[in-house]
């Protein structure tokens, strides 16, 4: 398959594909939100450390916030929510929701950058919409965020 081939399958106009792509976005965000809310108490061991480091950052306790083991990226994403008075657990889950969105759109950007067709982008969007919610609700980790930023 030629990656620069922009010819769409017959019967699929570009506007119809874009509609389905936007619908995949809405479904992805809805599934991520529902997954986040249904799995609030589900934590991995790293989640406690990231939430604690975020609390250190939010209070300005740099002696404990800066350490050689836990990266600050995910904790920094939690800090604005902590400043607004959100509980650390919900702040962490909201940070993972943002991470899921960054990964979703970063992956689609990568598909476009490679030069694949719009139908291929739609297929990737549907696969991501079905897989990201499970991953982001199982683990509180910066992996999803970093992968999305690297795409």
> Looking at residue 49, what is its pLDDT?
93
Helices 143-150 and 88-114 cross at an angle (nearest 10°) of 30
- What are the tens digits of pLDDT across the range 27-54? 999 999 999 999 998 988 899 999 999 9
What contacts 62, CB < 8 A, 6 or more positions away? 56
- Domain spans in the chain, listed from the N-terminal domain onward: 18-36+43-150
DSSP string covering 90-108: HHHHHHHHHHHHHHHHHHH
Q: How confident is the model at residue 3 (pLDDT cuts 50, 70, 90)?
A: low
Q: What integer best gives the mean pLDDT of the chain?
A: 91
- What are the tens digits of pLDDT across the range 8-30? 555 678 899 999 999 999 999 99
Please, what is the Cα angle at 97 between 38 and 19, to 5 degrees?
Answer: 100
Q: Would residue 11 be called left, alpha or beta, if left means φ above 0 and alpha means ψ between -120 and 50 degrees?
A: left
> Looking at residue 12, what is its pLDDT?
73
- In percent, the amount of the chain with pLDDT more than 90 equals 76
Kindly report the pTM of this predicted structure.
0.86
- What Cα–Cα distance (Å) separates residue 79 from each residue in 1, 53, 87, 145? 46, 9, 11, 16
Distance CA 123, CA 131 (A): 12
């Amino acid at each position: 398959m030629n990656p620069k081939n922009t010819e769409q399958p017959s019967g699929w106009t570009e506007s119809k594909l874009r509609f389905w792509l936007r619908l995949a976005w809405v479904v992805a965000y809805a599934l991520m939100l529902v997954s986040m809310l249904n799995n609030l108490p589900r934590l991995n061991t790293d989640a406690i450390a990231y939430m604690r480091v975020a609390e250190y950052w939010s209070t300005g306790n740099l002696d404990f916030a800066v350490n050689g083991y836990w990266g600050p990226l995910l904790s920094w994403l939690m800090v604005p929510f902590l400043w607004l008075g959100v509980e650390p657990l919900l702040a962490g889950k909201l940070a993972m929701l943002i991470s899921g969105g960054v990964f979703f759109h970063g992956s689609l950007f990568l598909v476009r950058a490679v030069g694949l067709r719009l139908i291929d982008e739609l297929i990737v969007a549907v696969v991501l919409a079905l897989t990201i919610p499970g991953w982001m609700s199982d683990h509180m980790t910066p992996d999803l965020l970093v992968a999305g930023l690297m795409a």
